[in-house]
Structure 1
Amino acid sequence: MTTVYVIEGRRVTGPGGFWRAVGEAVNGPGGYFGENRDAFADCLSGGFGTPEDGDFVLEWRDHDVSRRALGPAFFDELVDIIDERAPGALRLR
């Protein structure tokens, strides 16, 4: 069964807010799932809260709000990292 992690895009007010939102989506309150691009990419490879078999989805709700807060370039970079490390795992809502 696929595990779905929900990133609440309205909570993303900048890079720090993104790292907190994704960390808590995957690992609960105060959870860690990277705090920079490289660590985030490593975490997406499994073993940091996501299933080892890669059977998970990151559902990014209100991603348009996050995109504005992060800036298009950084947002697009995060999407590219997810697509590269966890192909097919991203759902933008």
Structure 2
Amino acid sequence: MTTVYVIEGSEVTGPGGFWRAVGEAVNGPGGYFGRNRDAFADCLSGGFGTPEDGDFVLEWRDHAVSRRALGPELFDELVEIVHERAPGTLRLR
């Protein structure tokens, strides 16, 4: 069964908010996996919160809100990390 992790984009007010939202999406309330791009990439590769078999979906709700808060450059970089490390798992809503 595919696991769906939901990032609530409306809670992303900047990079710190993004790391917090992803940590909680993957590891539950108060969840933590790191606070940088490398930790994000590792998390998506499996074994650091996401399933090792890659059977998951990352659903990013209100992604347009996140894009404005993060800035287009960082947002696009984060999306690219997902495409590189976990192809086919990203749903932008």
Q: CA RMSD, aligned part only?
A: 0.7
Report the equivalent of 1:33. 33
**Structure 2 alignment gaps of length 5 or more:** none
Report the equivalent of 2:79. 79
Report the equivalent of 1:51. 51
Deviation, structure 1 residue 33: 2.7
Tell me the percent identity: 89
SS at match of 2:17: helix
Letter in 2 for 1:42: D
Report the equivalent of 2:22. 22
SS at match of 1:52: coil
- Normalized against structure 2, the TM-score is what? 0.97
- Normalized against structure 1, the TM-score is what? 0.97
- Consecutive aligned runs of 4 or more in structure 1 exceeding 2 Å deviation: none
Letter in 1 for 2:12: V
**How many residues end up aligned between the 2 structures?**
93
SS at match of 1:77: helix
**Structure 1 alignment gaps of length 5 or more:** none
Instruction: Report the more deviating stretch, 40-49 or 11-20.
Output: 40-49
